[in-house]
Amino acid sequence: MPNPKTLILIDDDPLCIKIIEVICKSILPDINILIFTDPKEGLAHLLRIAHGELPHCIVLLDLNMPKLSGWDILAALESKKEQFMQKCTLYIISTSLEINDRLLAANNPMVSGFFEKTITRLNLQHILR
């Protein structure tokens, strides 16, 4: 897969967002990073992608957010799963240490990987390349 042009980050943690921004820009200076601190807005954007309105992207999705969790977002995308998976590569980023969260992620075909926060430069290099 060629280097992605767009990274979508759905997370409500300002420190995590800043760290990811800085590291990603140092890896791929021309990457477009879209940040959604409101998970409902992030979901709306992902649904537009699934409808074919936007180009391929990589998604970093936090699990624990107010209003709508990462699991809620994945459930809302379920009916568009095939279209979404053609357009996006999604990774979960989380502070969760729950084994169940890792098992659910591993068994969800929309999830390409699970990374603990704070995500490392090495992990982001793997994701972006």
Q: What is the mean pLDDT of the chain?
A: 92
Structure tokens at 82: 């095939």
Least trusted range by pLDDT, from 16-20, 47-51, 62-66, 102-106: 47-51
Nearest 5°: CA angle at 49, between 44 and 18? 70
pLDDT for residue 57: 92
Mean pLDDT of 54-72: 92
> What are the phi and psi torsion angles at 65 (to 5°)?
-135, 155
CA–CA gap between residue 61 and residue 65 (Å, rounded)? 10
Q: Which CATH class is domain 6-128?
A: alpha beta
Question: How many separate helices (H) and strands (E) can be counted in the chain?
Answer: 6, 5
Residue 33 β-bridge partners: 7
Domain chopping of the chain, boundaries: 6-128
Is residue 88 within a helix (H) or strand (E), and if so which, with residue range?
strand 88-94
Q: Which residues face 96 on adjacent strands?
A: none
Checking if the pLDDT of 99 tops 80, the result is: yes
Can you state the angle between helices 39-50 and 70-77, rounded to 10 degrees?
A: 20
Give the pLDDT score at 118.
86
- Mean pLDDT within 46-55: 84
Question: Distances from the Cα of 67 to the Cαs of 70, 73, 74, in angstroms?
Answer: 10, 11, 14
Positive or negative, the Cα torsion across 6, 57, 41, 92? negative
